[in-house]
Structure 1
Amino acid sequence: MDTITHTLFGIVLYRSINKQDVPPKLRHSFLFTSLVGSQIPDIDVISQFWDTTGQYLMWHRGLTHSLFLVPIWALLLSLVCSLLWRTKDRRIFYLGLLAVFIHDTSDIFNAWGTGYFEPLFNTRLTFGTIPIVDLAVWAIILGAFLFAKLRKQVAAHKVFKAAGCLIAAHFLIQSVQGYAIYQSVEDRYEQVALSASFVPWHYQVIGKRGDVVEISDATVWGDPELVQTLPTATNADLDTLFSQNPAAKTLLQWSPFVVVVDDETRLGIYDPRFFRDGQSFLFEYIEKLPN
C-alpha cells in the first residue's frame, strides 16, 4: 500500500484502543507504536542511496517486510517507548506486532508484492487483488471519522474497530473475486498475473502465451475484454542487457514474467502489470549501437 494508507491504518489502530483511564505517557506510546509500526517496514527505501548494482527492486519490500521480522520490529518499538516515556506495558508489544503485521500483510495484496517469507524464499508474494492506492479504504476511514464526530454518543474506539472490520471485509471480497477471475483464465495462458483497478471489483488480467502478452479488463460478472496485445521477443539473448544494465536482471527475478523488447534501437524488458499509456514504468533497457 502507499504511505498515506499505511499511516491511516496506524491511525485506525490507535483510535480503536479504548483509552479510558490510560495515562498520558502510555497514550503517547500507543500512538507512537501505531504510527511508526505501520510505517517501519518501508525503512528499506534508504537502500536506494547505496544501490550500485541494480538490486533496489529486490531490497525494497524485501527482508524488512518479512513475516519473521514482525516480532523484532515490535520489540524494537517497545524498547523505544521504554526509553522515551518510561512505559513498560505488554500491550505496546502486541500493538507493535499488529501494526507491522498489517503493513506486511496488506502489501502482499497489491501487484508490487513483498518478500513475505524472506530469507527462506526470495520470490515476491503478490495477489494483485488490491490497488496500491485504494480509494475504497480511504472512504471507509473517512466515514469512520465523520461518524465518530457526528455521533459522539457512540464510543470512538468501537467506530474504528468497525472500520477495521469493514476494511478486512473489503480485502476479502476483492480477493475472492480476483481469485475467481484468475481461476477462470488460468488455462488460457502459460503464465497469468492480476492487477487490481482503482475501481472496486475491477481487475486487469495479464496473460502470457508464446510470443504474446495480453492485457484484459475483467470482472466476475462478465468475460474478460482484451484491451492490449504486447509482442514479446521470447528468444532474445539478454546476456548483453544484463551485463550492461544489472537492474534488468533484478527486474526479471522480481517480476512474475516480463515483456522482452528487441527492436532496432533497444534491448530491454518490462513488467506488463504496470503498463499504462503505452509504456511500463518498470522498464530496464539498453540502447543499441547503430550498425
Structure 2
Amino acid sequence: MDSLTQIVLGAAVGEATLGKKVGNKALLYGAIAGTIPDLDVIANFLTDTITAIELHRGFSHSIVFGVLLAPILGWLVNKLERKHNLGWKPWAKLFFLGLFTHPLLDAFTTWGTQLFWPFKVRLAFNSIFVIDPLYTLPFLLLTLVLLFYKRDSKMRRRLNIAGLGISTGYLILTLVIKEVVNQKFEQALNDQQIAYSNISTRPAPLTTLLWNANIETADSYLIADYSLFDTAPIRFETYPKNRKESTIMMKFPNVQRLMTITEGWFIIEQKMDQWYFYDLRFGLVPRKDQPPFFAFTYLLEEINGRIRATETPKTERDANYLLSQIWERIKGRP
C-alpha cells in the first residue's frame, strides 16, 4: 500500500500496543515501524531495474526481517525513552507488530509480498489497489481524532479499535467482492464458450467497484473489465502471446528473470525494431486518441550480449485520463 496508509496502520498498531503507557510516542514509533519495510525502494538507485523489482517487497517485507530488526529497534528506543522505564521488550513488540502488519497489508495487493522469505513464495490476494481511499481515509480520520484525547482515555482506545476494525473489515469485504467478481468472469467465459487455463482478477486503481481480469488461453491472453453496476455482457479483448515470435528474446537470462517475476503473465513484442516486455498483472492504461498501453512496460535493449530492461515512464496526462475513464467505467455498461 502507499506510504500514508502504512504510516496510519503502523501508528494505530503502535497505539494499540503501548498507547496507554507512552501516549503519542506509541503513534510516532508505530508510524516509523510501518514505514521501514518500504525503504527497499533505495535499491532503485543502487542497482538495475530487474534486480530492484526482485528485491521489492522481498526480505524487508518478511517475518524474518521483523524478528531480526524488532529487538534492535526496541533496545535503541528503550535507550532513548529511558524515562518510561519499560525495558526493551515492550518496544520490540511494538516494532515487530508494525513491521509485520505492513507486509500483511501489502499481501492484499497485486504485487504481494514475500512474507515467508527466504522461501520463494509471493503472497498476493489481489483484492485491493495500492491506493484505496475507502480503506485509508476513515482510518486516517479516526487516528487523527484520537490525538485529542489523553492516553488513558477510554474514547481514545475506542477510536483506535474502530479504526483498526473498520479497515480490517474493509479488507475482508474486498475478498468477498473478489469472489463475486471471479464468478462473474467465469460465468461470462462459460457463456461465450471460451476455453481457458488460468484467470487472474484485481481491482482497478482507487476502487473496488471496478475490476480487471487477465485470462490465459492456449495462444492468447484475454483482458476484460467488470463494474459492479454493469448490466451488459462482459467483453474480452484478445492479445496474442507471441511466444514463437519472441523466442529470440526469451533465451536471455534477464528476460527469463522478468518472466519469473510476472509468474507467466507477460507478452514480448517487437515494435519498430525495438523489443518490449509487458507485465500483464497490472492491466492497461487508456490514453486519449491513442491505443492503451500496459502499466508496466519495459524496453529491452541488448548491450554486449546482455539485456537491459528500462521501464517506460507514465505521464501525468496518462494518470489524469485514466482517472476520468475509471469514473465513467464505474457507472456501469448498460
Please indicate the TM-score interval, normalised by the length of the shorter structure.
0.7 to 0.9
Query: What is the SS of the residue equivalent to 1:82?
Result: helix
5 Å matches for 1:37-56? 37-52=33-48, 54-56=50-52
Which aligned pairs between 1:33-72 and structure 2 lie closer than 5 A? 33-52=29-48, 54-72=50-68
The one of 208, 215, 229 equivalent to 2:216 is 208
Whether contact under 8 Å (2:18, 2:94) holds in the other structure is no
Aligned to 2:297: 283
Which position in structure 1 is the counterpart of 2:136? 138
Displacement of 1:151 in angstroms is 9.8
Letter in 2 for 1:128: N
Q: Do 2:15 and 2:30's aligned partners in 1 also have CA atoms closer than 8 Å?
A: no
Note if 1:116 corresponds to 2:149: no
**Could you list the per-position Cα deviations for residues 190-249 of structure 1 after superposition, in whole angstroms to 9, with x for gaps in the alignment?**
222222122234321111212322222236786872364322202234454664x93x43
User: Residue 61 of structure 1: CA displacement?
Assistant: 0.6
Deviation at 1:258, TM superposition (A): 0.9
> In structure 2, what is the equivalent of residue 95 of structure 1?
94
Output the CA distance in 1 between the equivalents of 2:234 and 2:49.
39
Matching residue of 2:281: 273
Higher relative contact order (CA 8 A, sep 6+): 1
Alignment of 1:248-259 (within 5 A): 248-256=255-263, 257-259=265-267
Q: What's 2:72 paired with?
A: 76
Contact kept? 1:233, 1:262, Cα under 8 Å? no
Task: State the Cα distance separating 1:67 from its structure 2 match.
Answer: 2.4
Computed over aligned residues only, the root mean square deviation of the Cα atoms, in angstroms, reads: 3.1
Gap runs ≥5 in structure 2 = 190-194, 287-291, 303-334
CA distance in 1, matches of 2:121, 2:147: 44
> What is the CA deviation profile of residues 54-106 of structure 1, one whole-angstrom value per residue up to 9, with x for unaligned ones?
31101011111112322223222202212322351532222222211110111
TM-score by length of 2: 0.73
Distance in structure 1 (CA, Å) of the matches to 2:235 and 2:72: 49
Cα separation, 1, equivalents of 2:37 and 2:239: 35
SS across alignment from 1:155: helix
Structure 2: which amino acid aligns with 1:179? E
What is aligned with 2:126? 128
- Give the TM-score taking structure 1 as reference length: 0.82
Give the count of matched residue pairs: 281
Larger deviation, residues 104-113 vs 212-221: 212-221
Percentage identity across aligned positions?
21
| Paired residue secondary structure (1:268) | strand
Unpaired runs of 5+ in structure 1? none
Structure-2 separation of matches of 1:91 and 1:44: 26
Matched-pair contact (CA < 8 Å) for 2:13–2:30: yes
